[in-house]
Amino acid sequence: MTVYAAIAGLLDYAEARGLIEKDDRTYCSNRLLQMLRMDGPDGEEPAAAAELPELLQTLTDSAVERGVIAEGVVAADLFDSLLMEAVTPFPHEVRRRFREKYAESPRAATDWFYDFSRDTNYIRRDRIAKDRKWVYSGPYGDLDITINLSKPEKDPRAIAAAKLLPQTDYPKCQLCAENEGYAGRVNHPGRSNHRLIPVKIAGEDWYFQYSPYVYYNEHCIVFNSRHIPMKIDRAAFEKLFSFITQFPHYFVGSNADLPIVGGSILSHDHFQGGNYEFAMAKAPVEEEVCFPDCPEIRAGIVRWPMSVLRLRGAEPKRVIDLAERVLNRWRGYSDESVFVLAETDGEPHNTVTPIARRRGEDYELDLVLRNNITTDEYPLGVYHPHQELHHIKKENIGLIEVMGLAVLPSRLKTELEDLKQAMLAGADLRAVPELAPHADWAEEILRRRDFNKENAEAILQEEVGEVFERVLENAGVFKRDNTGRAAFLRFLRAAGAR
C-alpha cells in the first residue's frame, strides 16, 4: 500500500462515517500531506481498501522512515492522533450534532457520540479488542474480569525523552478541557482527535466525554470545567442525580475522595458512568433497614463483598437528604471493636464511593463505605488488597472495581500463560522470577484441583475470579460475618436507622 493510497483510503473511511463530506476531500488531503511533509502524487491513485489501523500504520511508518517523527509507540500514537484530527470535525460541529440528537432523545445523543468517538479513533477499537475478558460466577453474581491491554506499554525512548522536557502544567491533568485538540508530548497523550460535550451539572459547567480505554460499554467521564479537587458531599450527590436526570439510561458514580480508596486523579473533580449494569447493581438488598423520618425511602444492606447501603426513592431531594446524613455520620464514626477509626493523628479515614442510577421513575443511590487507614501489617491499607493477593491485584480499588469489574495489569497476560505451561509441566515455579510470586497460589490450586491441558485455562480464569472476590472482601469495611453485620447495623442505627 502506498502512502497516497492510504491517504485516499483514510478519506474514504472518513466520508463513509460522516466525519467529512465530499467537498472536504481536497482540503483534508492537503492537511494530511502537510503533516506527512509530502507533496501530492503526479496522478490520481486509487484508495486502499484497508481497515483504519492499517491505513494509519502505513502513514505512520512512512513518517518514521522519512524522519518526520521518531520511532516508538508514543511518537506513533501522537502522530496518528494528529492524522485523525485532519478528518475530525471542529468542536462546534460536534456539539451542534449532539444537541440535535439529544432533541430526539438522550440515548440517541449518546449512541451517536459513542460511535463518533470510536470512528475518530479516539477510542482505539483495535487495542480495546486485545483486552482479555471473562466472567467469573460466584456468590455475589457475575464478576467481570479484564486484563487491560489497551493502554500502550511504557516506551523507554519516550521515558528518556520526557526527562529532557521543560516542566509544564498545560494541560494541568489528563481530564482538563484544554486536552481537546491538544497535540500531546512524550509524557502526555495526544488528544488531537478528542472532542468534548459541554453539559450543565447542578447548574455548573461540566464536560462529557468517553474514556479512550472503554473498560465497559459506553464508559464515559463527566468532569468539572474547573481543575478543582474531588470532594464527596451533598453537592456531589446533587451532581450525580443531575446527570442521571439528563441521561436516565446511564449510571454514574464517583471515586472516593481520599488516597488509597480513591481514584488515580483526585486533583480534578470528575465522575465515571456509562450504559452498563454491573454485578453490584444487580445484587439484591439482603437486609432492609428503616429510617423513621424518611419512610418514603427504601433502604437496605446490599448482598455484596463490600459494605454497601442502598437508598431508593421517587424524590431526588429526599434521597440526597438521607445520603448526606449517612455520609456526615460516617465521616466521624469509629468502632474500635471492628477496627473502624474515623481519624488517626488528625488524618481522616472515612469516606464513601457513591453510585447513582435510575430505576424507572425512581432514583437509586449506593453508598459504599470506605476507610483508608494503614498499619505496619498493612502499609498499603487495611481495607485494600492484602499482600497475599498482590500477585494478581495490588492497585487501588476504585469505582470500577467496587462495582464488580476487575481491571488487572497487562503483565498477567504473559504471566498467566507462562504459569499455566509451567504448572502443566511440573516446573519449579520459584526458580522463575516472574512466576515466583504466583507459586504459593499455584501450588494450592494443584493440591485441590485436577489440573490438566483440557481445563487449565478455565481453572486459572476461575481462580483469578476468586482472587478478585477476595480483593473486594478485603476492601469491605464491615466483614460479612456475624460480627461485621452487627457492626454495620450499629453504624446505621447511629445514622438514624431503626
> Could you read off the pLDDT of 107-148 as tens digits, one per residue?
999 999 999 999 999 999 999 999 999 999 999 999 999 998
d(CA 60, CA 84): 12
d(CA 54, CA 96): 31
Beta strands across the sheet bearing 350-359: 197-201, 204-210, 220-224, 270-274, 251-253, 350-359, 362-371, 308-313, 298-302, 285-289
- Look up residue 340 and give its DSSP letter: B
Q: Read off the C-alpha cell for 215.
A: 473498560
Amino acid identity for residue 435 in this structure: L
Cα torsion 132, 138, 141, 144 to 10°: value is -10
Q: Which residue has the higher pLDDT, 249 or 49?
A: 249
pLDDT band (50, 70, 90) for residue 262: confident
pLDDT band (50, 70, 90) for residue 161: low
99, pLDDT greater than 50? yes
What was the pLDDT predicted at 263?
A: 73
191, pLDDT greater than 50? yes
Beta strands across the sheet bearing 141-147: 132-138, 141-147, 405-408
Closest CA to 282 of 303, 297, 300: 303
d(CA 439, CA 418): 12
> Could you read off the pLDDT of 405-462 as tens digits, one per residue?
999 999 999 999 999 999 999 999 999 999 999 999 999 999 999 999 999 999 999 9
Residue 340's beta-bridge partner residues?
A: 335
Closest CA to 4 of 50, 56, 46, 35: 46
The position carrying cell 454491573 is 278
> Could you read off the pLDDT of 350-404 as tens digits, one per residue?
999 999 999 999 999 999 999 999 999 999 999 999 999 999 999 999 999 999 9
d(CA 370, CA 368): 6
> Could you read off the pLDDT of 331-352 as tens digits, one per residue?
999 999 999 999 999 999 999 9
What was the pLDDT predicted at 169?
A: 84
d(CA 324, CA 25): 55
Give pTM, 2 decimals: 0.93
**pLDDT, averaged across the chain:** 95
CB-count exposure of residue 494 (10 Å: 0-12, 13-18, 19+): middle
d(CA 248, CA 358): 6
